[in-house]
Structure 1
Amino acid sequence: MNLRGERQADFAYQAVYRYMINLINEVSLDMPVKLPSLRQLATRLNVSISTIQYAYSLLEKEGRVYSVAKSGYFAWPVAANPLMAAGADLLERLYAAARRPGMVVLSGDEPALLGALDGALLMLERQLVRRHPRQLQPWSQPCGVWELRAALAARYTSSPTRCWQADDVYIGADLRGVLEILIDVLGLKGAAVLVESPCDWLILRLLQAAGVRVIELPWQVDGRLDLARLEHLLRHEPVHLVLLSSVVGMPSGNVMLNYERLRVAQLLEEYGCWLLENDTFGELGFAQNHTALRNQVNPERLIVFSSFEKVLGPEAPFGYVLSRHLSSELQRQFLLRSFRLSSIRQRAIAHLYQSGRLDQHLQTLRQRLREQADAMSQRLDQRLTGRVTYRMPLAGASFWLHASAPVDMRQVFQRLLAQQVVIAPGELFSLSGLHHQQLRLSHAFNGHPNLDAALDALALALLQAQSA
């Protein structure tokens, strides 16, 4: 089957999407089914791997497939048991439930649901295809097209001493692929990495799968970073790499104060530690007056990673990393991975940066996120008073809730599944058993008809699951 000729009617990923829909409809109705890999489908359909990635991203957002690190993509059959076995992996159960039709999914943190730039990207792609008909896929750029790398370098430059060049930027198919490369290049297997907690489960699972010794530094209840604990760990543990958020720690929604950022920078310098900065939500703070941590630390011991998806939506799944060092090894690993990324899509994203369209989009998106957070706060106060406590989020599309009374959060999760509601228990954001009394709750909804009923069900489930 050759899909290249179908570009005249639509983009290739749309044809791949339709092909995958038919494939998924043929799978067993009794158990999850592993789907072909990106490379297998690219070979079978004679399209690029990035085209397959776009199609899978759309299917994942629609709840038709889910991904498992190191394993690939799976289809959840509609007829499968939505509750699953209570002893199964909690994250797999969450993935399975969130991707079933009819579920009220309160577990995510997808800001772009309130405003993606899919239409703008597709329009720019059409313009670029007409302008560069012979340069659609220059595969000689394994680290990303120069235009996008230069745009990112310019955006992250803040001073003559804290500047980046296009050659310092590396772009991969998605955030997972970029993080896997970083883990390999940095030689983290068996090493101790200090990670803020709570931390995104994708990061935690990748570190765990790579044999990294993860040391968690919990944010305090008052939203402050435990600087004394940080210094203790750096002094007594063989930590060479610290992973912290650039501006807002998610899902906790905490922001470091100026003196905290300065103290963190001093400690990293004193103990010779590198900072691996997570900038995934760096552009999504409701207020724009926060200084990124990278602007305080030694730039010679700094690596930054992020992705476009949280800001632009599923049509821009690429992940990226900025590093002044390790250039030869990073280039080698990106070349070996053979990310066949759409140059047209990358150029379209670069145009959004260069034209100022991205900044306009971010201004609107931040406003909508703030409004949604205020509306959800009112709902929480009306329907969960006495059941949860929380701090107002400062970024993203979710709340980090604390149960007011001790509860079995897994029981809460299971009870809600029976009522077609999905939450994200806090234990998913830790590898060492933290956050059992917390949960992440999305607020990125546009007039969802079942939201109030879902919150009432959550309040009842919390009451019923209180520990004796």
Structure 2
Amino acid sequence: MNNDKTDFAYQMVYRYLSRLTHELPEGPAVKLPSLRLLARRLRVSISTVQNAYSLLEKEGRICSVPKSGYYALPQPCNDVHCEGEDLLARFQAGTRRPDMFVFGADEPTLLQSLDGPLLSVERDLMRHYPCQSDPRYQPFGDIELRTALAAYYTSSTEHCWHPDNVFIGPDKTGVLKTVLKALQLRDCAVLVESPCGWNILRTLQSFGVRVIELCTDADGVIDPDELEGLLRHSEVKMAVLSSRMDTVRGRIMALEQRQRLAEVLNRHGVWVLENDSQGGLCFDEQFTPLRDLIDPEKLLIVGAFDKTIGLEAPFGYLLTRHSRALWHRQLLLRSFRLPPIRQKAIARLYNSGQLDKHLHALRLCLQQRVEHLGLMIDDFLGDDVTFERPQGGATIWLESKHRVDMGRVFERLLEQRIVIAPGELFSVRGLHQQSLCLSGAADWTQNIESMLVHVRNALMQERLG
């Protein structure tokens, strides 16, 4: 009798949980009631609930997380269509879908943006600058914004900039293409730190540039001796390097190391393109930027506003002291026509101090978020990955402890409507295949714990050997 009663109780709990997990919406894993809570709710013993959970776990319908509990895993969804065979195309298609949880996009301003104040300033400006029938064409960008950027980048009498040194483009990619065209770098060798942002890599490839990847170590450090050898034997024409920190991994290079790096670059006389899109997102603001160490006649600074202000400020910009006539000619040929009022509104954010206040708040928010995400990664993925706490930015770079097929991990998570950024995206020659990037600026109204459960399971299921 006792055995029959136990069997009945066990089956009852199993059926209850089966129906509960079946009725859950498609998407991320959902945490299930604790053993004690469910036992009290259904008026059965804890061991009976434990038996039901164990069977569901064997069936692959739920999973257990130490010190956290049980999570329901929805069955893979086969109606997710992310077009293209190319990994980047599938990643971008996934990030565009509204039903996806984007866990790998580097968009810091999703946490906090200046889009609202920007549009408010723009509305005020519209009253003072009514549309003209024949507005003046400013091919190099609005002079007010160029002046604001020149002031922002001036740090001393030695490191000063003027509006004539500043040029505005439609976005960072457009500015980078202008640089490649002006310096006639098609079919030349360009050095990049690796991992490197995929937008830079693909833009270089589109110009037929031979990309040479120089890997940074876990601290974001480039070996000066290795750099010396590459510059001596590879006929590198330009090096694309971060301003203060490795923008993918958020690692800051010590001043002494940056000085050694700059000495090598200056000695070989190569162009140095400083990528400053996220220089303002270092948690510690005291680090000297690379640009202060580079020969000013060989220095180009490229940046954009979207990573610090928001998506309503898509423009890119270029700062250079080299041959204004060359850049004037290139920009006239490209005929960029940008809305002047939006540019003026961005300039007012600089000049009023609003941007500085915003960046201070955004850095604090990012630091808290990535620290929290790091703790959760330790709890849920500690047996599967290693990582260094970032010193800036919104993302955390993870290295798998085990050999995995990260492409299959990406695809498996895509079926669960989760988009991660596999490390291969950040290389043109197949590097970083055991890495992935997660963002602390993802949508935290979702259950982040359950997302990490999915990531952990995908990493375990796609281990090699």
TM-score by length of 1: 0.80
Q: Distance in 2 between matches of 1:146 and 1:429?
A: 35
Deviations 1:137-157 (A, max 9, x none): 834211111110011011111
Shift of 1:232: 1.2
Q: Structure 1 residues 267 and 438 mapped into 2: Cα distance closer, same or farther (>3 Å)?
A: same
Whether the 8 Å CA contact 1:193–1:242 is kept in 2: the answer is yes
Whether the 8 Å CA contact 1:273–1:301 is kept in 2: the answer is yes
Give yes or no for the alignment of 1:281 onto 2:287.
no
Whether the 8 Å CA contact 1:309–1:318 is kept in 2: the answer is yes
**What SS does structure 2 have at the residue aligned with 1:311?**
coil
Q: Distance in 1 between matches of 2:428 and 2:96?
A: 24
Q: Distance in 1 between matches of 2:268 and 2:115?
A: 44
Q: Distance in 2 between matches of 1:248 and 1:378?
A: 22
TM superposition outliers: structure 1 runs of 4+ over 3 Å: 134-139
Shift of 1:433: 1.4
Q: Structure 1 residues 136 and 436 mapped into 2: Cα distance closer, same or farther (>3 Å)?
A: farther
Q: Distance in 1 between matches of 2:78 and 2:167?
A: 40
Q: Structure 1 residues 80 and 205 mapped into 2: Cα distance closer, same or farther (>3 Å)?
A: farther
Q: How does 1:61-76 map to 2 (within 5 A)?
A: none
Q: How does 1:65-464 map to 2 (within 5 A)?
A: 81-84=79-82, 88-134=85-131, 138-445=135-442, 447-464=444-461
Q: Distance in 2 between matches of 1:348 and 1:112?
A: 18
| Partner amino acid, structure 2, of 1:384 | L
Deviates more, 1:331-340 or 1:152-161: 331-340
**What SS does structure 1 have at the residue aligned with 2:396?**
strand
**What SS does structure 1 have at the residue aligned with 2:105?**
coil
Shift of 1:251: 0.7
Q: How does 1:26-41 map to 2 (within 5 A)?
A: none
Q: Looking at CA atoms only, which structure, 1 or 2, has the larger radius of gyration?
A: 2
Deviations 1:344-372 (A, max 9, x none): 11111111111111100000000000010
Q: Distance in 2 between matches of 1:431 and 1:366?
A: 31
Question: Which residue of 2 is the match for residue 71 of structure 1?
Answer: none
Shift of 1:298: 1.2
Deviates more, 1:91-100 or 1:357-366: 91-100
Whether the 8 Å CA contact 1:245–1:279 is kept in 2: the answer is yes
| Partner amino acid, structure 2, of 1:172 | G
Q: Distance in 2 between matches of 1:435 and 1:446?
A: 26
Whether the 8 Å CA contact 2:218–2:388 is kept in 1: the answer is no
Q: Structure 1 residues 397 and 137 mapped into 2: Cα distance closer, same or farther (>3 Å)?
A: farther
| Partner amino acid, structure 2, of 1:125 | E
State the aligned residue count.
389
Shift of 1:81: 5.0
Say what the alpha-carbon RMSD is for the aligned residues: 1.7
Shift of 1:111: 0.6
**What SS does structure 1 have at the residue aligned with 2:279?**
coil
Show structure 2 runs of 5+ residues with no match: 1-76
Shift of 1:134: 4.6
Q: Distance in 2 between matches of 1:80 and 1:146?
A: 52
**What SS does structure 2 have at the residue aligned with 1:312?**
coil
Percent identical residues: 48
Q: Distance in 1 between matches of 2:306 and 2:426?
A: 20
TM-score by length of 2: 0.81
